Chain A
Amino acid sequence: MLRDAWLITRKDLRIEVRSRIALNQIAPFALLMLILFAFALDPDSGVLDRATPGLYWVAVLFSALLAIQRAFALESSDGNRDALRLSGLDPAGIYLGKVLSIATQLALLEVLLGTGVVLLYGSHGGNWLLVIATCVAATAGIAAAGTLYGVLAAGLRVRETLLPLLLLPVLAPVLIGSTRAFEAARSDTIDQGWPWVGLLAVFAVAYMVFGMFGFGPLLEES
């Protein structure tokens, strides 16, 4: 299973390197969101600065939607969804492979967004350990849940509208948790952030486990 997962991850990342969709389209979209937030919230009034943690994670979530859609769209060119099933690869392996590939792309996007937030909003990071732990746990959760709901929506004509409707309510706890953790990291109440990281970690593990079982059946029915 892990062997199959690694095969999928390498294949997906290689496709990304060749096609550069994440680099050329998703990353600019993420930065665009930061800029739009600044337009909407007036950088001078201080609201932007206070809202930064939340805005950051909202931008991550919306970028994640694009990344997840892409991860399954690349399988559909010309009947490929059949191919993934026909390959004989273990579905749990395919799931883990996709999760890892999406998580990697998200991690890079988060670094980019983090840089953007520091440069554009004049934000300061806060406790680095908490920030990094939050990002790891949240990214794992987003990728795990996203891959599961992503395969469900993939291949459907209504996928672009169905995926957000299904996934965003499910990821609401991740948004709440990661934003609170970031807020705690910038303030002097750092230890209030760690319980939220715990919540994110539990979420990620739960979805990862369920995803390994649920992905197969969802991949089957076309």
Chain B
Amino acid sequence: MNNYVLWDDEGRKILGKLAQFIMPLDDWLKKKIVDGYTPPDANDPNKFPWRHGGDVLSVDRLRLIDFIEMLARESANDAFLLHRWAMLEDKPLTFCPIECKEDWREARGLDDDVKFGPVLADNAPGTLVGFPVSRSQLYAESVPHLCTAARARKKAKKLDDDNPKHWESFMLDLFKDKCAEWPEPRSNPSSRFMIQLLRDLLYAVLGMRNPIAEPWRSAVLAEIGEFRRPGNVYDRADIARGVAEFKKVLAEKIESKPTPSEVFTTSEVLRDHYLNFGNGPEQKE
């Protein structure tokens, strides 16, 4: 997977450490084993080795940073597209095929002030709408900043490798643009980089492209009870069995009605995200 390395050891180490605090897979699993969801076949050490004393479920084991490095390499061509679009923002009619285009526009009552707007229309590569940047550019510019910030914090004894609170605080500050050690906070705020990192980590664990072998590739999907996998084939009997199991749970008598906080962990923000239309995908009819 890693035939061309974009980041040096320091960059990879800091990215990996940060990813562990964004997504502490092993802590989550330990909590789940005590009082969380147990997937079917969880007793099978071949299917769920991380539950049976095998390798720990972690950012390292899932090779998430390698995966993100692969994504960054793949997106290198986006920079050319954005360059073309920057040119079109200056000269929007460059490729217009209409003869006498200015006259044509005038006859139709169109304005002289011509604009090119796919970036605002969320049809451009970027971390957030309105900030066009290719993934490769963003990492190329941000990982050195991340290293600079980490070095400065370490020097100030505020980022000890063995102190989880230090790293948690570093991660939160980066998300909130409150990391004083981050260079160029205005032109390239740390939050933009962190959002991309979080999106890519989610892609790595929920998407189906991470080239590591199964069962590790689908470990997080299996742990959350998502069974959709490439190549699935079902028949009517499978679905009837699924409905029968669902009905059984639906018919269970609940001793005490769960509170919203038990259902939604503790976050109002998270609750709204899952309940509002438009925050998630609405599939087509």
The answer to whether A and B interact is: no
